[in-house]
């Protein structure tokens, strides 16, 4: 398959190199990623300055690699429209350094890059791994994606759908299995630490840790039990359950101008 691999950790991040080096043995890989760290940039794109693309050589990779001085969504846009001449079969964003579970997906540049692929009707996967418990086992996440591509036809799931995959930081043999499940809730106790302030301005650094109860049968729940989680996402944020309720409320009050 022809695969575009991107991320939000940057072109030289260990996660993207591990994934690309494993998949290029069986697939036609092009790596297009931000030139620097772009975590938590969400679905932002660059519109007020030109984008610069550079072909780069990454040690250990034979695939074509390009850095872009923009966001992960920029990388997918310009990759599909300008860099890769033929049709892309699958877009994979990752392997992200840290989970993207629950409401993290709203901030994640990793997930947003995959969503950009879905907007172009290219089957897309976002893959992230927990960074707790010492050295990160990127190989575990890469192996799961490799096996998934062998056994699952992602086109059958839908071209405008993102599979959000999260992997526990365990050796591949110790992972219990996988669970297809809902997004959970990921709320943080945000702490703002004052830095280098003076009488004219104040500077804060944000730190946070997850808080709150974990709801059963969600990605947050299963990842803590040692399972890989898979959640199908779609960029249409319409709350269809409330459509009739909202319509009835507006009909009740009549015209509003």
96 is annotated as contributing to ligand binding = yes
Identify whether the C-beta of residue 118 lies closer than 8 Å to the C-beta of residue 234: yes
28 is annotated as contributing to ligand binding = no
Instruction: Label residues 198-217 b or e (16+ Cβ within 10 Å = b).
Output: eeeeeeeeeeeeeeeeeeee
Here the tokens at position 19 are 């994934």
Burial of 172 (0-12, 13-18, 19+ CB in 10 A): middle
133 is annotated as contributing to ligand binding = no
9 is annotated as contributing to ligand binding = yes
Q: Which residues are annotated as a binding site for a divalent metal cation?
A: 8-9, 39, 96
Q: Which residues are annotated as a binding site?
A: 8-9, 39, 96
């Amino acid at each position: 398959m022809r695969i575009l691999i991107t991320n939000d950790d940057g072109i030289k991040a260990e996660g993207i190199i591990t994934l690309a080096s494993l998949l290029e043995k069986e697939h036609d890989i092009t790596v297009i990623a931000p030139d620097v760290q772009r975590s938590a940039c969400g679905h932002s794109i660059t519109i007020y300055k030109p984008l610069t693309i550079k072909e780069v050589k990454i040690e250990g990779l034979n695939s074509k690699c390009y850095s872009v001085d923009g966001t992960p969504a920029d990388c997918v846009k310009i990759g599909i429209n300008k860099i890769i001449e033929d049709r892309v079969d699958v877009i994979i964003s990752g392997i992200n350094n840290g989970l993207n579970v629950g409401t993290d997906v709203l901030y994640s540049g990793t997930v947003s890059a995959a969503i950009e692929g879905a907007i172009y009707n290219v089957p897309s996967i976002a893959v992230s791994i927990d960074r707790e418990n010492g050295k990160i086992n990127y190989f575990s996440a890469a192996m799961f994606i490799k096996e998934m591509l062998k056994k699952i036809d992602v086109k059958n799931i839908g071209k405008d759908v993102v599979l959000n995959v999260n992997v526990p930081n365990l050796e591949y043999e110790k992972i219990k299995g996988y669970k297809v499940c809902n997004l959970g809730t990921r709320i943080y106790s945000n702490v703002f630490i004052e830095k280098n302030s003076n009488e004219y301005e104040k500077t804060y650094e944000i730190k946070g840790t997850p808080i709150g109860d974990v709801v059963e049968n969600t990605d947050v729940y299963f990842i803590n039990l040692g399972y890989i989680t898979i959640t199908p996402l779609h960029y249409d944020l319409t709350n269809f359950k409330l459509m009739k309720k909202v319509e009835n409320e507006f009909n009740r009050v009549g015209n509003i101008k």
